[in-house]
Amino acid sequence: MTLNLKLALYIVCVTVLEVIQRSTQFLAEKHVESARLQTELLLAHLLDMPRMQLYLSFDRALTKAELDGFRQFVKRRGQREPLQHITGSASFCGLDIVVNRHVLIPRPETELLAESGWEFLNRLQTGSNPGPQLSALDVGTGSGCLAIALAVKCPAIRVDAVDISAEALDIAKQNAKRHGVAERLRFFHGDGFNALAAGTRFELIVSNPPYIPTSEIETLEPEVRDHDPRHALDGGPDGLDIFRRWAAQAAQFLNATGRMMLEFGDGQDQAVCELLEKQNWIVENVLADYTQRPRLLIARRAN
Ligand SMILES: C[S@@+](CC[C@H](N)C(=O)[O-])C[C@H]1O[C@@H](n2cnc3c(N)ncnc32)[C@H](O)[C@@H]1O
């Protein structure tokens, strides 16, 4: 048998299990966290099957085209490109959200903000049965994940969403269509509350603004530092620039019985509460994420 034929046979006969083992080792050497899981998620995406199905397919040989495609995926992940940029989507509150380099990849801790938001709106809705149509605002919508989750979970509400990035809004609109809520969402391009008409009022304002102190950005993992958009991360010298602005501006856009819910960074709870209280907000509740760190506050206007 010629060397080329041997090589060809070897290449065609690489199985799912072998590919998983080799790629896991490669990614671990590149310091990718949870290398085995990441490998399996990439391979399941490539083969268009649920991850668990891989376990029933360990002996399946990959075709040359599949192997070539997978090598590209693993190479990109080894260069610390986020998994979600390679697969093109991220899961948020059970929704498949399209992402690219123009939007922050939705984070699991932000699901807490979405859940708190829809629970509040659903309580209002049943209380005023049927009542006027409720509306919510998402400032800094990015991929649209929060606005869309609210619209999906509260089928009677309208949601306005603002972002300073036109490219992010293109993705958010795509996601709204994908989840069948586009007709209840409006998108505004601009700088925070300045993008809205004066006199507009909402029952709920949610925001997961950029809150990383500028000097910390260089210390972040490459997946975040080099791939999430800078305007989605950078919160100014102390990370609190946007909170100061929202604290001063948001009240005039909130109904008297409404709530504002803000995600903030680890360790910022006291500072964010203080600057809100200085602007006459009452912080009702501070909630912890799944690792028990305070990451979300619920505030109302002091009337
Ligand atoms: C941390 S990301 C959050 C994205 C999305 N809401 C989420 O939770 O995944 C912050 C978003 O705020 C947007 N943003 C930053 N400054 C803004 C401003 N001044 N006005 C409106 N949007 C802004 C960024 O473009 C980015 O999409």
How do residues 58-84 score in pLDDT, each as one tens digit? 999 999 999 999 999 999 999 999 999
Same domain membership, residue 122 and residue 34: no
Same domain membership, residue 148 and residue 11: no
Q: Give the chain's domain count.
A: 2
Which residue among 231, 243, 261 is best mutated to probe the pocket of ligand 1, counting the most ligand atoms within 8 A of its Cβ?
Answer: 231
The proportion of the chain whose per-residue pLDDT surpasses 70, expressed as a percent, equals 95
11 or 232: which carries more pLDDT confidence? 232
Same domain membership, residue 240 and residue 120: yes
Same domain membership, residue 291 and residue 244: yes
Pocket of ligand 1, beta carbon within 6 A: 104, 106, 110, 139-143, 145-146, 162-165, 168, 191-192, 208-210, 231-232
Owner of token pair 């992010």: 168
* Helices 3-12, 64-78: crossing angle, 10 deg rounding: 70
User: How many angstroms is it from 78 CA to the middle of ligand 1?
Assistant: 28
Confidence label for 167 from pLDDT (cuts 50, 70 and 90): very high
Same domain membership, residue 72 and residue 16: yes
Confidence label for 9 from pLDDT (cuts 50, 70 and 90): very low
β-strand pairing of 281-288 with 294-301: antiparallel
Same domain membership, residue 282 and residue 134: yes
Please give the model's pTM, rounded to 2 decimal places. Answer: 0.93
pLDDT score recorded for residue 128: 56
User: How many angstroms is it from 69 CA to the middle of ligand 1?
Assistant: 33
Q: What are phi and psi of 268, to 5 degrees?
A: -100, 0
What number of CA atoms fall less than 13 Å from residue 231's CA on the CB side? 15
The proportion of the chain whose per-residue pLDDT surpasses 90, expressed as a percent, equals 92
Residue 14 inside a domain? The answer is yes
User: How many angstroms is it from 43 CA to the middle of ligand 1?
Assistant: 31
Query: What is the number of the ligand 1 atom nearest to the C-alpha of 113?
Result: 8
Residue range 250-275: mean pLDDT, rounded = 97
User: How many angstroms is it from 143 CA to the middle of ligand 1?
Assistant: 9
Q: What is the CATH number of the domain that holds 204?
A: 3.40.50.150
Per-residue pLDDT at 127 exceeds 90: no
How do residues 185-204 score in pLDDT, each as one tens digit? 999 999 999 999 999 999 99
Residue 159 inside a domain? The answer is yes
User: How many angstroms is it from 179 CA to the middle of ligand 1?
Assistant: 21
The domain in which residue 130 lies consists of: 100-301
Same domain membership, residue 284 and residue 175: yes
Same domain membership, residue 268 and residue 151: yes
Same domain membership, residue 208 and residue 66: no
Same domain membership, residue 191 and residue 52: no
Residue 85 inside a domain? The answer is no
Same domain membership, residue 289 and residue 212: yes
